[in-house]
Amino acid sequence: MPQAGLRISVVVPAYNATKTIEAALRSALEQELAPLEVIVVDDGSQDGTAEFVEREFPTVRMVRQQNAGPSAARNTAGKLAQGDWLAFLDADDTWLPQKLRLQAAALEAAPEIGMCSTSWVRDRSQAPAQFSAEAMPTRRFRWHDILRLNRFQTSTALVRKDLFERVGGFRSEIDGTEDWDFWMRVAQHTDDLHLELPLVVYTDEQGSYSKNSRRVYDAMHRMLKTLGPPDGPVSAEEMHRLVAWHDVRFSYAFWRLHRSEDLRYALRHGRTQASGWLMLQAALFEFIPYILGRGARKVSR
């Protein structure tokens, strides 16, 4: 049974997921802290995902809808959820058994917090076999931290349902960065308590929704526009600096991926939106120190 005071609904959007969803659902159902319910929203799959889940996992609640994207699927499940907390799990990721238990323990010690995330790995062998709630390294991400970077994967997040409802769920018009946008809107009401423990195994499926980096780049800029004047919380001056930072960041990513056309696209966009001088400042005084610091942290581990 779920731990008293923390009723968790697991939200699983699924599209053509028969190859991966079994492992995802088993990882949710085998949690040391059992969730109240697991809800799968089949987003118009054509490979028998819904039928597979109904046959193999009769205790899971299956909901079908026409294809509308991951945001709409998560919103459907969020509206139906009976729990006080929503735990998001993509159909190609898996959780370690301790995930919900350790998040619950951290939240009990910080009752003012409405969102909790964890670290993640791409290979389960990279995660320790055991974790202790008494030796649990944590940090807090505030709104401006998340504004600068998407700090965690969707499958690591646990969010209070009332906050999910307050911000209106995920926004389908920016699928590709919908999770990042959602964290930012939630973080305007609460800090994120981040457990620096790799409790999620993230799968880099080449066909998954977020792997088209150009689409993610364009979605990011649509998202950023909603944060600026006249109605958003970010000033015009700060928005120019923010756009420059993200254009430099994506230009670097496109360079690393050997995507020359996308690199030229990002550089042109950046010079148009934030000026080449601001991009140069962002590169010299922010991005290069960030990359060097990240490298130093990896070496020290």
Q: Is residue 153 within 8 Å of 200, Cβ to Cβ? A: yes
Domains of the chain, start order: 8-201 (3.90.550.10), 212-300 (no CATH)
pLDDT per residue rounded down to tens, the chain (301 residues):
344 458 999 999 999 999 999 999 999 999 999 999 999 999 999 999 999 999 999 999 999 999 999 999 999 999 999 999 999 999 999 999 999 999 999 999 999 999 999 999 998 888 877 777 777 899 999 999 999 889 899 999 999 999 999 999 999 988 889 999 999 999 999 999 999 999 999 986 655 544 578 888 898 888 988 888 888 888 988 888 888 888 888 888 899 889 999 988 888 876 555 566 576 666 666 767 766 665 434 433 3
Give me the DSSP letters along the chain.
-PPTT--EEEEEEESS-TTTHHHHHHHHHT-SS--SEEEEEEES-SSSHHHHHHHH-TTSEEEEE-S--HHHHHHHHHHH--SSEEEE--TT-EE-TTHHHHHHHHHHT-TT--EEEEEEESSGGGS-S---GGG--EEEE-HHHHHH---S-GGG-EEEHHHHHHHTS--GGGTTSHHHHHHHHHHTTS-EEEEEEEEEE----TTSGGG-HHHHHHHHHHHHHTTSTTTSSS-HHHHHHHHHHHHHHHHHHHHHTT-HHHHHHHHHHHHHHH-HHHHHHHIIIIIHHHHHHHHHHHHH-
Dihedral pair phi/psi, residue 13, rounded to 5°: -80, 140
